[in-house]
Structures are given as structure tokens and as C-alpha cells.
């Protein structure tokens, strides 16, 4: 049915039940809608609460499934309370629930009770990027041979095409170490929360691949992913860190499958 | 979902994705619930109820038409479990569903647990619901376990929880349905608190025993309908 019909008064009025029914689903302080009842006019407070509960619990479950390391770090009670606030504030807008939770890391960052875990939001960003890489389109990564066809004098003009699954994560905390320890089933020892870590996340084949990037590499990767030519990206990386190893970085990124193609820019 | 308040463009894109899915996997049967899940920009991830009126029957029929056109084949529409009624309803659920079948040519997926849950919750007889249900259009059966809660008056309120064995009363209703329709593709939905394999396997065997018992009997509706 075309959207403009929904706005016409007559039809909109006929389908008021959806507006009335949905208004209180994520708002526990709101009374159940007048439009519903039990049989023979019986009350519908507990009956409507079944839908409220289904909606809220299923969306909390969806976040728990997408952010397992975050859940493991906080424990289920903390996680579910935090997720409940987020679900009520920012419910999904897409029926594709693997897209849900894109705003969750920012929510965690300002969530009052998570302030003692300042690295938690970055762990959630890693998990969101992991899920994006997992669901990204399949594509054949380009191997280091892709550079062979480019003449050495044009190398600085070379532009890389990022693999659809490639994501770069930069953190002020050891987020790769925390993520890796809490995505496995093994025991988690004490992790020193000082020291920054960056990551490349991509999926060259069926498995998501997480690479702990050396210092300076994330800037380099960000610039290449933004479409800047190799020379400009390398200059930015050197400006940030004089000991940046250009050839090792190119080799590592290509081997990880971060790109699908390289071609001469300009 | 069939009562869908998303924009036409969003529904169009969903239809294209759904067609791609159906084209890729070529499932034997394609089904969808009589329910809605999205309003304005929010997706509620639950099967929400609707009033049964001539206006809503037209709207749902339009959406079934849209979906069937998109995938180029008829779907099976599934009867819901509901916990509330809409006083504005002017049609029974079975009349509503029969009207949809007549208008769209869709088939039906009969969830026998949903029949029992809704009948208990709203105080009518599951057997009379089945007597009014257009059984000759059923192409698939669902069975499931349910949980018990209480409504505001302290009466039993059943929840379609999919987290336990099929109730005895639901097995009896399944037996009645298969006795009338003959064997139909049957799915047991147990997707929460999943038990050990032998328990699940025994549940499937119990369904198979009922299907086998009616395999050669002289049922009223033919196997032709089972193909949807």
C-alpha cells in the first residue's frame, strides 16, 4: 500500500489500533491500551504485559547474542539491566536484528553504571565490527600479487579498494586483548588496562579474522580505506610515528585480506 | 509481517530480499504469521495482534497479494497465539482467515498449539474453532509446548513459549486434525530451553505415530492440498 494512503485521514483512522497498541510496548509506565481487553470485557493488564515482556526480553536477548564478550565481562544481570535501558531508548528500526546494536557502544560509553569500565564501549565496538564483518558481502581478497602489475614509480598513486568486511578499530585501551580473552571459553586472567591497541577486522573467507595492528598502522589503514593514495596514507602514518614500517604494513594488510583490489589513482 | 506500517519503499526492498532468499533456497513451503511487528519506524520483534474487521481483512489481503506477487508463488498463512482481544473486532478469527484464503488464494499453516492457547485465553472451544477452520486449505501443521500464567482475574493464561513438550490436549487436537485432513507436513517448534536429543526425537516420533496411524484412513480432504 503506498505511503501516501497511510497519511490520508480515513485509512489512518482505520488502522489506529497499531499506534494505540505499540505505544506502551517499550514504556512500562504507560497504561495498557483501551483498544484491547480479555474475553467478556475482562481486564487486559497482565495480558498486555505478555507482549511487553516478549518485546523487551527478545530485544535484550538479541543484544546479548551480538555482544557476547561485553556480556561475559559485565555478567548477565548487569548486561541485561544495561541492555533494557538501551532497548527502551533506542529500539530497532530494522527487522534484520543482526543490524541492531549499532548505537549500543555509544550508549555504554555514557551509561552511568559502566563508568568504572571505560574500555567496555570499545570492546562493544569490536563486537559490532566483528558482526558487520561476519555479515558483509563475500568477496575475493586481493593477494600481494595485485601490486605486481603497478609500476614502481606509480606506487605512491596506488589506491586500494577495501574488502566489504574490512573494519578498523582504534582504542585508548588494550581492546584486542580484552576482546580475544572474553570471546573464548577459557579462563580470563588479569589484563593490564593501560596501553592502547588497534585492530583490523575482516573476513577474507568464511571466518572473521582479527589482526592486532602495530602502532601507526590504524591511521594508515583508515586513510587507505577512505580512498587516499598509498603515498598520502604513508605520509600520514610517518607523521604520527617516525618508525612506521611501510613495507611490513602493506604486506600484513594484504595478507590479512583487507582489500579486494589495487589500482593506479589519479 | 502482513500488517506492516513501514513505507512502501522499505517494504519493496524487503520483498526483493525475500524473493532472493526464496529463489536461492527453493523451499518446499513458504509461510508467514497473521500478525504485525513494525509500526512507524520501530521493529518490535514480536507477533502482535490485530482487530478482525472488513478494513483489516482488506489490508492483510493486500499484503499477502504483494508478497505472493513478489515471490511468484502462494504462501501459507499461520494462525496466531493471542493474549488480548479487540472489542472493535466484528469477525471471528476463522471467518477472517477464510476471507483471506478466498481473496488471495493463499494456503494455511495450522498451528495446533496456537489454537489451544488462544481458545484457552479467550474462553472458547478449540474443537469448535477447528470445526470452523478451512481445513481443506491447510498445507502444514505446527506443534509446540506452552507455558501457564494467570490473567488479571487469576484465570489460566497460556503463553506460546516453545520451551517444553507438546501438551496432551494439543496431541489430541492434532489427532483430530490429521484424522480429518490426512497426513500433513508437521513441525514441532521447541526453540527455547532445548532438551537433550532423545527427548526431542521422542517428540518427533510421537507426531510420526499419529501421522502413520492416519496414513491409510479415509480422510475427508485429499493429499493434494498438502503440497500447498
Residues of A in contact with B86 (CB under 8 A): 17, 35-37
Q: How confident is the model at residue A11 (pLDDT cuts 50, 70, 90)?
A: low
- What is the pLDDT, as a whole number, of residue B218? 60
- What is the pLDDT, as a whole number, of residue B6? 60
Q: If you count residue pairs, one on A and one on B, with CB atoms under 8 Å apart, how many are there? A: 123
Q: How confident is the model at residue B5 (pLDDT cuts 50, 70, 90)?
A: low
Nearest to A125 by CA among A177, A64, A178, A169: A169
Tell if the CB–CB gap between A36 and B151 is shorter than 8 Å. Answer: no
CATH 3.20.20.150 for the B8-227 domain, yes or no:
yes
Report the residue from B37, B45, B63 with minimal CB separation from A62.
Answer: B45
Tell if the CB–CB gap between B153 and A6 is shorter than 8 Å. Answer: no
What's CA A117's distance to the chain center, in Å? Answer: 19
List Cβ neighbours of B117 (8 Å cut-off, separation of 6 or more).
B81, B146, B158, B159, B160
Whether A27 shows a pLDDT value over 60: the answer reads yes
What ipTM was reported for this prediction? 0.92
Tell if the CB–CB gap between A46 and B151 is shorter than 8 Å. Answer: yes
pLDDT tens digits for range A175-213: 999 999 999 878 888 888 788 999 999 999 999 999 999
pLDDT tens digits for range B74-120: 999 999 999 999 999 999 999 999 999 999 999 999 999 999 999 99
- What is the pLDDT, as a whole number, of residue A185? 79
Tell if the CB–CB gap between A36 and B41 is shorter than 8 Å. Answer: no
Rounded Cα distance between B171 and B210, Å, is 9
Give the pLDDT mean for A219-242. 94
Give the pLDDT mean for A122-149. 90
Whether A154 shows a pLDDT value over 60: the answer reads yes
- Count CB atoms within 10 A of the CB of residue B218: 6
Q: Does B67 touch chain A (CB under 8 A)?
A: no
Shortest distance, CA B16 to any CA of chain A (angstroms):
14
Question: CA torsion, points B47, B52, B54, B60, in degrees to nearest 10?
Answer: 10
Tell if the CB–CB gap between A35 and B86 is shorter than 8 Å. Answer: yes
Rounded Cα distance between B37 and A163, Å, is 34
Q: Does A137 touch chain B (CB under 8 A)?
A: no
Domain range summary for chain B, segments of one domain joined by + = 8-227
- What is the pLDDT, as a whole number, of residue A2? 42
Nearest to B205 by CA among B154, B148, B160, B143: B143
Mean pLDDT value across chain B: 92
Amino acid at each position: 500500500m503506498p505511503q501516501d494512503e497511510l497519511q490520508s485521514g480515513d485509512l489512518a483512522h482505520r488502522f489506529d489500533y497499531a499506534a494505540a497498541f505499540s505505544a506502551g510496548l517499550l514504556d512500562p509506565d504507560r497504561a495498557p491500551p483501551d483498544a484491547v481487553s480479555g474475553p467478556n470485557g475482562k481486564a487486559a493488564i497482565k495480558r498486555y504485559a505478555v507482549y511487553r515482556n516478549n518485546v523487551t526480553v527478545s530485544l535484550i536477548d538479541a543484544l546479548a547474542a551480538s555482544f557476547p564478550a561485553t556480556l561475559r565481562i559485565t555478567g548477565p544481570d548487569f548486561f541485561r539491566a544495561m541492555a533494557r535501558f538501551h532497548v527502551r531508548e533506542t529500539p530497532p528500526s530494522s527487522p534484520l536484528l543482526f543490524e541492531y546494536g549499532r548505537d549500543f557502544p555509544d550508549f555504554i560509553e555514557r551509561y552511568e553504571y559502566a563508568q568504572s569500565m571505560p574500555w567496555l564501549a570499545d570492546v562493544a565496538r569490536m563486537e559490532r565490527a566483528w558482526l558487520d564483518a561476519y555479515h558483509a558481502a563475500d568477496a575475493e581478497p586481493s593477494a600481494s600479487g595485485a601490486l605486481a602489475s603497478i609500476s614502481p614509480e606509480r606506487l605512491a598513486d596506488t589506491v586500494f579498494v577495501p574488502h566489504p568486511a574490512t573494519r578498523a578499530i582504534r582504542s585508548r585501551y588494550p581492546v584486542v586483548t580484552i576482546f580475544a580473552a572474553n570471546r573464548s571459553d577459557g579462563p580470563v586472567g588479569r589484563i593490564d588496562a593501560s596501553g592502547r591497541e588497534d585492530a583490523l577486522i575482516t573476513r577474507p573467507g568464511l571466518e572473521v579474522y582479527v589482526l592486532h595492528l602495530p602502532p601507526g598502522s590504524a591511521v594508515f589503514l583508515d586513510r587507505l580505506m577512505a580512498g587516499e593514495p598509498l603515498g598520502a596514507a604513508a605520509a600520514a602514518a610517518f607523521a604520527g610515528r617516525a618508525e612506521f614500517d611501510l613495507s611490513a604494513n602493506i604486506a600484513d594488510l594484504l595478507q590479512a585480506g583487507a582489500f579486494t583490489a589495487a589500482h593506479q589513482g589519479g | 509481517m502482513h500488517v506492516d506500517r513501514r513505507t512502501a519503499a522499505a517494504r519493496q526492498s524487503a520483498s526483493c530480499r525475500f524473493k532472493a532468499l526464496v529463489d536461492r533456497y527453493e523451499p518446499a513451503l513458504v509461510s508467514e504469521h497473521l500478525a504485525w511487528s513494525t509500526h512507524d519506524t520501530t521493529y518490535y520483534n514480536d507477533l502482535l495482534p490485530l482487530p478482525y474487521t472488513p478494513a483489516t481483512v482488506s489490508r492483510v489481503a493486500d499484503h499477502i497479494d504483494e508478497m505472493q506477487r513478489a515471490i511468484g508463488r502462494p504462501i501459507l498463512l499461520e494462525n496466531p497465539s493471542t493474549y488480548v482481544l479487540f472489542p472493535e473486532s466484528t469477525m471471528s478469527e476463522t471467518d477472517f482467515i477464510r476471507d483471506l484464503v478466498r481473496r488471495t488464494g493463499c494456503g494455511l499453516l495450522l498451528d495446533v498449539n496456537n489454537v489451544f492457547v488462544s481458545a484457552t485465553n479467550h474462553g472458547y472451544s478449540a474443537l469448535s474453532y477447528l470445526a470452523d477452520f478451512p481445513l481443506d486449505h491447510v498445507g502444514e501443521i505446527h506443534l509446540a509446548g506452552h507455558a501457564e500464567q494467570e490473567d488479571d482475574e487469576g484465570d489460566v493464561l497460556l503463553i506460546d513459549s516453545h520451551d517444553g513438550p507438546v501438551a496432551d490436549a494439543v496431541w489430541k487436537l492434532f489427532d483430530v486434525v490429521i484424522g480429518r485432513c490426512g497426513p500433513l507436513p508437521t513441525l514441532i517448534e521447541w526453540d527455547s530451553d532445548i532438551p537433550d536429543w532423545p527427548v526431542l526425537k521422542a517428540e518427533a516420533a510421537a507426531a510420526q505415530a499419529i501421522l502413520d496411524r492416519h496414513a491409510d484412513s479415509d480422510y475427508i480432504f485429499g493429499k493434494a492440498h498438502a503440497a500447498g
